[in-house]
Amino acid sequence: MMLRRWTLTQKRALLGFSFILPWLIGFVFLFAVPLIQSISFSFNELKVAPGGYELQFAGFRNFKEALFVDANFNRILTESVTDMAWNVPLILFFSLFSAAMLNQKFKGRALARAVFFLPVILASGAISAAETSGLISLTGSSEVAKELGETQSGFDTLSFILLLDSAGMPEWFIQYLVDAVMRIYEIIRSSGVQILIFLAALQSVPPAMYEVAKMEGATAYEAFWKITFPMVSPLILTNVIYTIIDSFADSPVTQKIYETAFRSQNFGLSAAMSWLYTLVVAVILVVIGVLISRKVFYYN
């Protein structure tokens, strides 16, 4: 009996499926049931009973209350989307720039890469839990350190604004750059994973391409836009999607949903807010994914 030979496309499809298989198994056995329950809760009024809970069908009342009755949900959701649109370009630009610098050959490169990823570890739940429990209380509060760093910063905001204004830059762009500089701590803290992804993409670029470009007389600027940027463009799409999702992971919207559920004990309204929030994020991801994927260059 002759074994069937798989084509290259089929092998790649199987490889891709094997990568998502752990997530797929976890979703089916851990998240599918709560997901379906949350849909049911959003269309019902949930009341806690001695034996568990009771559901009373409410239709779209929870969604109407979230959109038209609640005084804060729309405002918080709009502000979160605006902050996301403001932060994502900053994080992506800083991540790509840092990855390009860390990809160069210099002494202490491994240490420099670890330093750039350190904010991701410091922002993790383990560090915050240790600080809350008093295990690292001797080092002081991270918020206090951040405030001291901002107050003792040597950055002259007024001179920077005057310099950009004299260069003829528009007011909105000046405000954007000033805000980016003032929030550099948050940008660095949110860029660790993106830097690693961009760094892996840069290391996968064939060195022969740069050698040929150099022989043809291309400058470093031309090599970046003609070789580096197109080759890492698939990972730009990945980082955009990751950054958008990460920006919503601990946003005021999630805090509002949590307070509605566990402080106000209004689980139906909380579930409706969750699904409205999910739909907004999904629409943003689909639109941005379609727009960016048209410009992505795939090297085969």
- CATH code of the domain containing 242: 1.10.3720.10
Looking at residue 210, what is its pLDDT? 86
Looking at residue 250, what is its pLDDT? 74
In a domain, 18, yes or no: no
In a domain, 299, yes or no: no
Looking at residue 7, what is its pLDDT? 85
Contacts of 220 (CB under 8 A, 6+ apart): none
In a domain, 32, yes or no: no
Tens digit of pLDDT for each residue in 1-46? 455 688 888 888 888 899 999 999 999 998 898 889 889 989 988 8
Looking at residue 18, what is its pLDDT? 92
**Domain count along the chain:** 1
Rounded CA separation 167/161 (Å): 10
In a domain, 172, yes or no: yes
Give the burial string for 142-167 (b: 16+ CB within 10 Å, else e): eeeeeeeeeeeeeeeeeeebeebeee
In a domain, 269, yes or no: yes
**In the chain, which residues have pLDDT < 50?**
1, 131-132, 135-142, 145, 148-149, 152-153
In a domain, 106, yes or no: yes
Q: Say whether 114 sits in a helix, a strand or coil.
A: helix
Looking at residue 154, what is its pLDDT? 52
Looking at residue 24, what is its pLDDT? 92
In a domain, 283, yes or no: yes
Looking at residue 123, what is its pLDDT? 56
In a domain, 35, yes or no: no
Looking at residue 26, what is its pLDDT? 92
What sign has the CA pseudo-torsion 8, 14, 19, 20? positive
Expressed as residue numbers, the domain containing 205 is 45-293
